Amino acid sequence: MNRFAELFTALDQTTKITPKVAALAAYFRTAPEADKLWTIALLSGRRPKRTVTTTRLREWAAERAGIPLWLFEEAYPIVGDLAETIALVLPPPGQTSTRSLSEWITEIRGLAALEEPERRAFILSAWDSLPPTEAFVFNKLITGGFRMGVSTKLMTRALSQATEIPEAELAHRLMGDWTPETTSFEALVLTRDPEADLSKPYPFYLAYGLEDAPETLGPPEGWQAEHKWDGIRGQLILRGGQHFVWSRGEELMTDRFPELASLRDFLPEGTVLDGELLAWGDEAPLSFNALQKRIGRKTVPKKLLTEAPVILRAYDLLEAGGTDLRDTPLAERRALLEAMLEELPEGLPLRLSPALTFDSWDALAEIRVGSRALGAEGVMLKRRASPYLAGRKKGDWWKWKVDPLVIDAVMIYAQAGHGRRANLFTDYTFAVWDGNELVPFTKAYSGLTDAEFRQITAWVRKNTLERFGPVRRVTPEHVFEIAFEGIQASPRHKSGVALRFPRMSRWRKDKPLQEANTLEDLKEMLAIYG
């Protein structure tokens, strides 16, 4: 664990990319293979499941530190991180442990089979054998909230430097449905297994938001445009007589979209499509809310299959006949995709994402304005000569989203943030008027400057009416403009609506409380955009 704790410290002490990559590369050159494998897993989101509740950890930490639980609970929101709070209150260790990272994780995973007294004994013994930094890392592993401020891309770059395997090849090897329990460092990283590659998606190419006017991109004829659909980005893979559906977050979702199994009978072997998974009805996208009902399900009941059937709206062809096409220019990939889909019979759960016809940027701007009415978030711009790259790159792919919807609302509750914002009230609940009553309808915690958060924090401390644990009810006084991407009906909310991606776009110091929007205004927006 000492070696991994040193890596954690090195990564935590800098925000610069080069030192982070250098520290990781050095670690990957010298660490035991089992530890290297678990480090890759942790940095790619494959964390061990939580085996002890945070309630018990707080109780045991207070007991080990010899302080009352209420004092620990008061310190926790100030520090803002449970793992760090525990590490800070623990007394110095009375013994020394030589367990490696992988050995600690094996022990942690084994806690699930133990009774609570045995779990408590193990945790207390661990705390008594680890110095502060290692105890902090151990606590992170226990709570399941492990983050190191390193993206998968940076980790892959460092691994490439350590192994001299090309970064793009490594990125592909690290994709897929693997865990440290099902593979080894040798098999995953150092050995190319064609059989294992059958199910693996390609690293997704991600677009940046367009910041400047589209005219800065040059003549429009060099660009392909299509709508940016509001669904789940996914890849459909057909290899070895099987099909696989992967989300952008590297989650295998084949069983959640059984409709797509029929495509095995019509698409050629060795095909990989990139596109958007959409709930579909009457030849048009349904709301994201309809799709969301299926996201968390391992099996989908027939009723839901009927209410929210899913299609793949394809916009790129990454592999054809088993040949990797990612280095082929987009214009050629698009032509091959169109030819492939033209041969398919009607009624399949697969549609081409239409290319938009425009002869000027002004013409495309007009098309963009009407995107929301079509169930889209805006338009995508892709350079016709571009290859399909890995990760987020600037230059060839851009997303040009429609302006968000906005509504003015009143802040009625406030809660402290986490991490570096643990001393600030940054998480707010907002309400709109329903007659003379303020009805809560959404929460938001982003969009303001640090200076504005500090100003609101000082105000909250002076204007708290009631406390509910970490939440404070405050005097209704401040109006904020809330921006959001979509709105849908929601029986779970008192207001009857739920917003998609709400955030604070500005503090309306110019607007009096009585001029905030109403619940009727929200319902009118729901009728138009829901």
CATH 3.40.50.300, domain 405-529, yes or no: no
The yes-or-no verdict on residue 299 having pLDDT over 70 is yes
Cβ atoms of 176 and 196 within 8 Å: the answer is yes
- DSSP code per residue over 439-508: EEEEEE--SS-HHHHHHHHHHHHHSEEEEETTEEEE-S--EEEEEESEEEE-TTSTTSEEEES-EEEEE-
Task: Look at residue 103 and give its three-state secondary structure.
Answer: helix
Domain assignments of the chain as residue spans, ordered by start: 2-143, 205-401, 405-529
Report the alpha-carbon distance of residue 495 to residue 476 in Å, rounded.
18
* Overall average pLDDT of the 216-220 stretch: 95
Top-confidence residue, 489 or 421: 489
pLDDT of residue 298: 64
**Using one digit for the tens of pLDDT, what is the confidence trace for 481-501?**
999 988 888 888 889 999 989
pLDDT of residue 420: 66
**Using one digit for the tens of pLDDT, what is the confidence trace for 149-208?**
788 888 889 999 999 998 878 877 887 778 898 899 998 898 876 666 688 889 999 999
Report the alpha-carbon distance of residue 54 to residue 104 in Å, rounded.
19
Residues assigned a catalytic role: 228
Are the folds of 205-401 and 405-529 the same? no
Angle, CA 502 vertex, CA 516 and CA 420 arms, to 5°:
110
pLDDT of residue 329: 98
Token digits for 462?
A: 């002076």
pLDDT of residue 432: 96
Residue range 2-143 forms a domain whose CATH class is mainly alpha
Strand 425-434 and strand 405-416: pairing? antiparallel
**Using one digit for the tens of pLDDT, what is the confidence trace for 346-360?**
899 999 999 999 999
Element (H, E) at 377: strand 376-383
pLDDT of residue 62: 95
pLDDT of residue 129: 92
**Using one digit for the tens of pLDDT, what is the confidence trace for 234-281?**
999 999 899 999 888 777 788 889 999 999 999 999 999 999 999 998
Element (H, E) at 367: helix 361-369
Cβ atoms of 473 and 438 within 8 Å: the answer is no
Dihedral over Cα of 114, 73, 46, 313: its sign: positive
Q: How many other CB atoms are found less than 10 A from the CB of residue 456?
A: 21
- Single pTM value for the model: 0.67
CATH 2.160.10.10, domain 205-401, yes or no: no
pLDDT of residue 101: 92
pLDDT of residue 195: 64
The phi-psi region of residue 4 (left if phi > 0; otherwise alpha if psi is between -120 and 50; otherwise beta) is alpha
Report the alpha-carbon distance of residue 326 to residue 341 in Å, rounded.
19
Report the alpha-carbon distance of residue 527 to residue 51 in Å, rounded.
45
* Overall average pLDDT of the 281-292 stretch: 84
Token digits for 215?
A: 């005219």
**Using one digit for the tens of pLDDT, what is the confidence trace for 99-144?**
899 999 999 889 988 999 999 999 999 999 999 989 988 998 888 7
First-to-last alpha carbon distance for the chain, in angstroms, is 51
Average pLDDT, the chain: 90
C-alpha pair distances (Å), 162 with each of 41, 171, 348, 436, 495:
17, 14, 46, 65, 54
